[in-house]
Amino acid sequence: MFIFRARGYPASGKAAEYHAATEEWVKKAHAQGFIVSLARQYFGAEGESCFTVTIKSKDLAEFERALHQIEASAEYRANVSKVLVPFPR
């Protein structure tokens, strides 16, 4: 069994938009047969959030196939790029 967790930290004021986009993606992933969950953790005085998407696969090869499908989704990339905090370089 292989479990992958990805955390997303929405930009200030974008938590609701990020939550909606991620929740929609998780529902679509479930419909396609993926074992996926979404969790939200609140922290800070301003109500900042961290979202965790967990993907469970039978093995690494199955996960890699799922990851390629996820990365190929232009809709998902567009939604995520609008709402995530960019990492400094």
Q: Where are the domains positioned within the chain?
A: 2-82
DSSP letter (8 states) at residue 46: T
Length of the chain: 89
Q: What is the predicted pLDDT for the residue at 84? A: 62
Q: Is the pLDDT of residue 81 over 90?
A: no
Q: Is the pLDDT of residue 24 over 50?
A: yes
Token output for 38: 């979404």
CA 4 to chain centre: 11
DSSP letter (8 states) at residue 58: S
How is the chain split among helix, strand and coil, in percent rounded to 5?
Answer: 45, 30, 25
pLDDT tens-place string over residues 52-69:
999 998 889 988 988 888
Q: For residues 88 and 81, which has the higher predicted lDDT (pLDDT)? A: 81
> What CATH class has 2-82?
alpha beta
Residue matched to tokens 């991620």 = 22
